[in-house]
Structure 1
Amino acid sequence: METKIYNVEEVAKMLRCGKTSIYELIRQNKLRCVRVGRKILIPEMFINEFINNGGAKIC
């Protein structure tokens, strides 16, 4: 099984939000991520978890 991993810009497009909103969700621990150096990566399962938990009103 292959896990899809997205960057902040791709997730923003998927959720129809701005990149700043995604960074804020990550900062508030509402959207989990993986950090590799300075790069922020978001596996598909974290996006699904965020949506299944009701998302957020920030977008």
Structure 2
Amino acid sequence: MTEVIYTVKETAELLKCNKNYVYSLLRKGHLKCLKLGQLKIPAYEIDDFLRRNIGKDFSNQDHVTELVFNEGGELNENQTS
């Protein structure tokens, strides 16, 4: 059976990040959850988060920017957007 709801730990595993990063995404409103004993994130919310934010840089969650690549196809690390 396919999972329909994930814990913060499971969400972190899916997104390949740590739990604190998921908590930060939740606090800042980038990802939505509900509380059923503990915080849970619906699978559709994770999918929606990924679809809404494809091509974005979350290095600074307070200032999410578009990823910018130079002419050589390398990520421009000195973005100012």
Common topology (TM > 0.5): yes
- Which is higher, the Rg of structure 1 or of structure 2? 2
- Alignment-derived partner of residue 15 in structure 1: 15
TM-score (norm 2): 0.62
1:30 is matched with 30
Q: Following the alignment from structure 2 to structure 1, what is the Cα–Cα distance between the partners of residues 3 and 44? A: 8
SS in 1 for 2:53: coil
The residue that corresponds to 2:51 in the other structure is 52
Alignment correspondent of 2:5:
5
Superposed displacement of residue 3, structure 1? 6.4
> How far does the alpha carbon of each residue in 1:20-40 deviate from its partner, in whole angstroms, 9 at most, with x for none?
000000000100001124x10
Q: Which runs of 5+ in 1 are unaligned?
A: none
Bigger relative CO (Cα 8 Å, ≥ 6 apart)? 1
Count of aligned pairs: 56
Equivalent position amino acid for 1:57 in 2: F
TM-score (norm 1): 0.83
**Structure with the larger helix share:** 1
Residue 34 of structure 1 aligns to which amino acid in structure 2?
L
